[in-house]
Amino acid sequence: MPMTELNFEVMDEEVKDYARKQTYIFKQKFNAIFEKIRPDIKPYVYQKKVKSVELTRTAQCFVTVENGNNNLIVNGKEIYSTSGIIVWIKPEKEGDRIALFETSGSDEGILRVFSKDKQIYTEKGFVHDIIYFYDRFYLIREKRDENISSTSGSSNGVYLEEKYLFGKNIASGMGLSGESYGDEIIIHAGNNISTELYIGEIGNPTTWKLFKKYKSQVKILDYENEILYTLRFEGNGILTVGEKEYPLDEPAEDAVRVKEGFLVVHMRDAKSIPVLYSSDCKKIKEFPFTTYKGLIAMASDNKRANLVMGDFGTTFNIYSYSEGQIEQIEKNEVSKFNASEDWVNVNGKNVHYFFLQANRETRNTLVYGYGGFNISLLPSYNNLFAYLLNNGVNVVICNLPGGGEYGEEWHKLGMRENKINVYESFQAVIKKLKKEGKRVICYGVSNGGLLSSYTLTQIPEYIEGAVIGNPVIDLMRFHRLLAGQYWVSEYGNPDDENDAIFLKKYSSYEQLKPGKYPPSLTYSRMSDDRVHPAHALKFYDKLISYGNEAYLMIGEGGHLGSGLEDTVDETAFIASFIEYVFSKNSNM
């Protein structure tokens, strides 16, 4: 079957019709399995979850997901509820305003600002932050076109109402955020490997000048009495107090200021451990957990702190920190799973993974990975995984190079020309499991979709199938599509002839050659305005042109997700594909 001549990057009606037709074919084939398992999956999706937390001297804010809605809870009271997705919230540190950004799953959405529980402002667009000052506020907006050159300047800018004030000299691929500190403002410009901080008078943008540049990611913890407090993601992490630097002994996932000094969440073999430090960064005490936990979010008012933790069977655990003590105040446990950890040696480095044992003895195993952008895969609840574990499928979660589990050097080990380390590590885990008699389906989403698609092209004989979610796949074109300019620092620049050499070697689209591959499901969403659906469409089209058993599912919503009923459907169809693959020639 020849490849179609459609230009998938334009996403015109012809392309959309093709996507709908192929999705219909997939759903018709799997409908019987889907109808059987959908009712069982729905309770896993509809579990109460806590997505984020913010804390000021006057407001304790949570975003929860319950009964199909995202809810903003302030001081125990529901301020706003939506069937959409609340992506971020930001309360005013010294005031009563609070903003939230809501979407249907895409990056574009609606900003809502509340004051004393009443909505006072709305705006549609790509809004990434709000900076309160006096009775006004700045917005950080992004202008995003479908095709963007990575050589252009940043598409982010700081605005007062409709007036563009700051950002024209910020490089392409740098995101912007900001915060007010009394009469001063700090603008943070950064990507996954570098940061620039600009400081000036809050009401006078002409004074906003470059203060410091760093060759790392930086989180601002506070700015008080002209002293800047930060967590720099270099090595295991460096706490800074003004010009004083305090390197940490273990990888840091996050940190906040508290009354005693700092509360840092360290990662110990991809498990979260809160540790209290004094103001001069001497370790005071640890707060160990009895089960594997992973940080979801944390916030402080510089005295107290709230932490939201997840684990494999619990959607959330809320902890409150004060006066040297941590107390659990709420949790939602769904299931208890037998979780263990193991390692595989790859080129002299140990690669850690979690093995989650299914509720019955089985060889069938889903292997999940990500490996990029300094993102750590810590213990957390996953709708699909919880269902599979309770229905006879093991789940393995890999902590690959490119993530942040072992500090910035671990991240760099999986970037750019080193990306091959991510692939080799993932393949090593799969080969080890196969040697132990497991039957494997590989799975990854977004950057992880690149991982699972590449794995399909390289070691088809070791896997029973592949699930490829919302993927980045064509690494020779990614920088031209939607938000791709932001990933050049991670992957490399295809317009650079030296970068193009290694990018072509680990671009799944380039590596897909005529041949026989195991069954695959590639899925994306029609309104994904971060990772263009063309990646999924092109890869699927190439697979079937070579005569392979491949399936495509293009759903509603965007990169961040969709409504809960759509999420139930998507999860159930993915689970249907997994059940189908493992049932083929099964001899469990």
Domain limit, last residue, from 81, 108, 125: 125
**Same-domain pairing of 107 and 15:** no
Shared domain for 23 and 61, answered yes or no, is no
**Non-local CB neighbours of 118 within 8 Å, separated by 6+ positions:** none
- Give the total number of structural domains in the chain: 2
Same domain, yes or no: 422 and 354: yes
pLDDT score at 588 = 45
Measured CA distances, 4 to 1, 195, 457, 513, 514 (Å): 9, 43, 20, 16, 16
Asked whether residue 302 is domain-assigned, the answer is no
Task: Looking at the structure, tell me whether residues 463 and 511 fall in a common domain.
Answer: yes
Q: Report phi then psi at 67, rounded to 5.
A: 55, 35
Sheet harboring 314-322: ordered strands across? 294-300, 305-311, 314-322, 325-333
Residue 41 covered by a domain? yes
Q: Could you tell me which of 533, 539, 585 has the C-alpha nearest to residue 557?
A: 533
Q: State the residue for tokens 């702190």.
A: 305
pLDDT at 559: 66
Look at residue 220 and tell me if it is in a domain. Answer: no
Query: Among 363, 345, 364, 342, which Cα is nearest to 353's?
Result: 342
Handedness of CA 582, 585, 586, 587 (dihedral sign): negative
Based on the fold, state whether residues 408 and 449 are members of the same structural domain: yes
User: Does residue 14 sit in the same domain as residue 105?
Assistant: no
Same domain, 24 and 63: no
Q: Are residues 478 and 517 in the same domain?
A: yes
Of the candidates 77, 102, 125, which is a domain's last residue?
A: 125
In this predicted structure, what is the pLDDT of residue 487?
A: 86
For residues 105 and 31, state if they share a domain: no
- Whether the pTM exceeds 0.75: the reply is yes
Asked whether residue 177 is domain-assigned, the answer is: no
Point out the domain boundary residue: 107, 125, 143.
Answer: 125
- 300 part of a folded domain: no
What pairs with residue 246 in β-bridges? 239
Q: What does the buried/exposed string (b/e) look like for 377-386 if buried means 16 or more CB atoms within 10 Å of the residue's CB?
A: bbbbbbbbbb
Q: For CA atoms 27, 32, 33, 36, give the dihedral sign.
A: positive
544 and 519 assigned to the same domain: yes
Helix, strand, coil percentages (3-state) for the chain, rounded to 5, are 25, 40, 35
How confident is the prediction along the chain (588 residues), in pLDDT tens digits per residue?
677 788 888 888 999 999 999 999 999 999 999 999 999 999 999 999 999 999 999 999 999 999 889 999 999 999 999 999 999 999 999 999 999 999 988 889 999 999 988 999 999 999 999 999 999 999 999 986 644 444 445 688 999 999 999 999 898 889 999 999 999 999 999 988 899 999 999 999 999 999 999 999 999 999 999 999 999 999 999 999 999 999 999 999 999 999 999 999 999 999 999 999 999 999 999 999 999 999 999 999 999 999 999 999 999 999 999 999 999 999 999 999 999 999 999 999 999 999 999 999 999 999 999 999 999 999 999 999 999 999 999 999 999 999 999 999 999 999 999 999 999 999 999 999 999 999 999 999 999 999 999 999 999 999 999 999 999 999 898 888 878 888 898 899 999 999 999 999 999 999 999 999 999 999 998 877 777 888 899 999 999 999 999 999 998 876 666 777 889 999 999 999 999 999 986 654
Asked if residue 229 is part of any domain, the answer here is: no
d(CA 450, CA 469): 9
pLDDT at 148: 42
Per-residue tokens: 223: 């700015």
Residue 425 lies in a domain: yes
Domain shared by 446 and 528, yes or no:
yes
* Distance, CA of 412 to CA of 492 (rounded, Å): 12
Q: What CATH number is associated with residue 56?
A: 2.40.10
pLDDT at 147: 44
State whether the Cα torsion 482-509-375-414 is positive or negative.
negative
- Say yes or no: 502 and 579 in one domain: yes
Amino acid identity of residue 155, one-letter, is: S
Q: What is the pLDDT of residue 478?
A: 84
Q: Which domain holds residue 112?
A: 50-125
CA–CA dist 569, 446 (Å, integer): 19
550: left (phi over 0), alpha (psi -120 to 50) or beta: beta
Q: What is the CATH number of the domain that holds 362?
A: 3.40.50.1820
Q: Report yes or no on 93 lying in a domain.
A: yes
